[in-house]
Amino acid sequence: MYKVLLVDDEPIIKIALRSIIPWEEHNMTICATASNGAEGLKLVSELSPEIIITDLKMPEMDGLEFIRHLKSHGFNGQILVLSNYEDFDSVRSALKLGANDYLLKIKIQAETLLETLNNAIHELEESSQVENAVSDSALDDVMADLLKSFLLGEESIDAFRGTYPDIDFSFAEKPCVFFDLYFSPTELSRQSRVISAYMKNTVWEAFQGIAKPYILVPNHYSILIYLPKESITVDDFDATLLSGKLINRFELYHSLSPVVMHHTSLSSISDARDALRKCSEILTLQFYRDLSVVDVSKLSLTHFIEGIYYKDLAKQILKNGASSISDTMDSLSAIITICDKSNVYPEILKSLFVKTLGHLEFLRSNLDSDTHDYFIEVCELLMTSSSAKSLFDDMSAAIQTLVSGISAENADPNRYKAEVRKALDYINENYSEQISLSTISEHVNLSSSYLCKIFKMATGVSITSYLSDLRMKKAKELLSSSDNSIKEISHAVGIDDQLYFSRMFKKFYGVSPSEFRGMS
């Protein structure tokens, strides 16, 4: 029976998780619950759970700090984090720290939770089997676990040594080589996203006759390789060639193309941990381009864009106006190219564009309220852009709106009839499914920003408002005309979370779904 610890400061979430599935029927039991990370740490020490489900935003000790403590103290079980849509940056940080998977609170249902837990159990079982098999050929289990704990933790090497006085850490101050293989979550299917024994063996085989590595798996999306230089048995060791070899093997055997980052001039295990943190930063550059083999020692990210100031950019955009819009687009493209070549943090570029839009609106103080609302939506899209292309498309659409002087009041809705009608048809036909702004935009073949603009101009409401209104109207009809349960009706209108559905319904109609049904 696998022991599961729940850590969340919201009683309703803990109650929902306790009751959503028959835990013992699936060889699991909730051994205890806690309201913050500090309480959770005490329970982990007392009960030794194999699986922890934790919220990220909690008082006293939040989820990220909780995970740091767990990893620095050698917790080798599965960590699943709970989050909301707006917490994705925190989720990403949690995965980097060693969390294994995440669950969206709004989408938690029995099937999703059970599938995630089964994946966790599968990894626990495979990890136990693989660590035993690999350590026989490489290094022992205890040292591998300690190495993983140190690399993913915060303690200094001296403090770590003090925690394990009986372990020989002489290797920790010796030169080493470090590899980080990252697999895109979008490339891994739900069924194969657990790093399997087969995948670890693929790495092991690539090093045969070259060295004896530690092969570590911190989460579903990466494999870490720690290689003491003294274990290298060839004179012509080439990390770049070996990285290419790893990519070829994964493409051949697994149909996966990992990013392989390496660093060959590390003087100690502490340097290896610094290299691991740098790898996480380097991965953000996939915002600009696809990465393949990266020499970590030769690449650094930049925190500023030299020679470009948002106020100057805004003034130039207004000066170009509608007649020179192509020059403005070329300028935006050139800025993105500069940031790409200079390895500028994507957040810095996003911030530049958001500040530029804000200053443009300030300079054009006569803009109507609908256009102002549109710019707020665009700024949110810019800050959540996943690629330079989507950032460029959304910024371009916003600038064209501003310099052309189009507003919701004076625009001709017929001009956008075909695209908006296509979006409306798609929403009306698929509101019962898990559709979003991005899926609607893909269907219409327009950028999210541009579709938001023309939809609001033609209908007078935002896409999100239209979809929510449609779902609530359909829910109201079903509550009046059917005996289906509230949970079934929630699913029927495309909302998986019954609690979220009930809150939204009450916001629209002033009463809960059950109260409305009682009034009918």
DSSP of 333-377, one letter per residue? Answer: HHHHHHHHHTTB-HHHHHHHHHHHHHHHHHHSTT--HHHHHHHHH
What pLDDT, on the 0 to 100 scale, is given for residue 68? 87
- Tell me how far apart the alpha carbons of residues 466 and 449 are, in angstroms, rounded to a whole number: 16
- The DSSP code for 223 is E
SS3 293: strand
DSSP strand pairing (214-219 vs 176-182): unpaired
Q: Answer yes or no: is 85 within a domain.
A: yes
Q: How many helices (H) and strands (E) does the chain have?
A: 22, 10
Q: Which tens digit of pLDDT belongs to each residue from 216-243? A: 888 778 899 998 898 899 988 999 999 9
- Give me the number of domains the chain comprises: 5
Residues 453 and 472 in one domain: no
- Tell me how far apart the alpha carbons of residues 409 and 430 are, in angstroms, rounded to a whole number: 29
Residues 128 and 17 in one domain: yes
The two structure tokens encoding residue 48:
């030794």
Domain boundary among 386, 404, 422: 404
298, 209 contact by CB (below 8 A): no
- Tell me how far apart the alpha carbons of residues 114 and 102 are, in angstroms, rounded to a whole number: 13
Residues 130 and 29 in one domain: yes
Q: Answer yes or no: is 146 within a domain.
A: no
CATH of the domain at 502: 1.10.10.60
Residues 246 and 286 in one domain: yes
Query: Residues in the chain with pLDDT < 70?
Result: 85-88, 107, 126-142, 186, 188-196, 370, 404-417, 520
The sheet with strand 176-182 has its strands ordered as 214-219, 222-228, 176-182, 259-266, 293-295
Q: Answer yes or no: is 156 within a domain.
A: no
Residues 179 and 276 in one domain: yes
Residues 387 and 337 in one domain: yes
Q: 446 is in which domain, residue-wise?
A: 413-460
- Tell me how far apart the alpha carbons of residues 103 and 115 are, in angstroms, rounded to a whole number: 11
Residues 6 and 133 in one domain: yes
Q: Answer yes or no: is 155 within a domain.
A: no
Residues 452 and 487 in one domain: no
What pLDDT, on the 0 to 100 scale, is given for residue 95? 81
What pLDDT, on the 0 to 100 scale, is given for residue 483? 85
Q: Which residue type occupies 217? A: V
Q: In which residue are the tokens 């676990």 written?
A: 145
Q: What is the DSSP string of 169-196?
A: -GGGGS-EEEEEEE--TTTS-TTT-S--
- Within 10 A of 452 (CB to CB), how many other CB atoms are there? 25
Question: Apex CA 73: angle with CA 67 and CA 77, to 5°?
Answer: 65
What pLDDT, on the 0 to 100 scale, is given for residue 200? 81
CATH of the domain at 120: 3.40.50.2300
What pLDDT, on the 0 to 100 scale, is given for residue 135? 41
Residues 293 and 361 in one domain: no
Q: Answer yes or no: is 157 within a domain.
A: no
169, 228 contact by CB (below 8 A): no
- Check residue 209 and give left, alpha or beta (phi > 0: left; psi -120 to 50: alpha): left
Dihedral (C-alpha) 294, 296, 299, 301: value to the nearest 10 degrees? 110
- Within 10 A of 476 (CB to CB), how many other CB atoms are there? 19
What pLDDT, on the 0 to 100 scale, is given for residue 410? 43
What pLDDT, on the 0 to 100 scale, is given for residue 463? 87
Please count the CA atoms within 13 angstroms of the CA of 426 that sit on its side-chain side.
Answer: 19
Task: State how far the alpha carbon of 393 is from the alpha carbons of 216, 431, 450, in Å.
Answer: 39, 26, 8
Residues 493 and 392 in one domain: no
Please count the CA atoms within 13 angstroms of the CA of 363 that sit on its side-chain side.
Answer: 20
378 closest CA partner among 359, 363, 396: 396
The two structure tokens encoding residue 292:
């393949």
* Phi/psi of residue 135, nearest 5 degrees: -65, -25
Residues 11 and 132 in one domain: yes
Q: Answer yes or no: is 493 within a domain.
A: yes
Q: Answer yes or no: is 74 within a domain.
A: yes
Residues 44 and 118 in one domain: yes
Please count the CA atoms within 13 angstroms of the CA of 356 that sit on its side-chain side.
Answer: 27
Domain boundary among 86, 114, 137: 137
496 closest CA partner among 87, 9, 103: 103
Q: Answer yes or no: is 15 within a domain.
A: yes
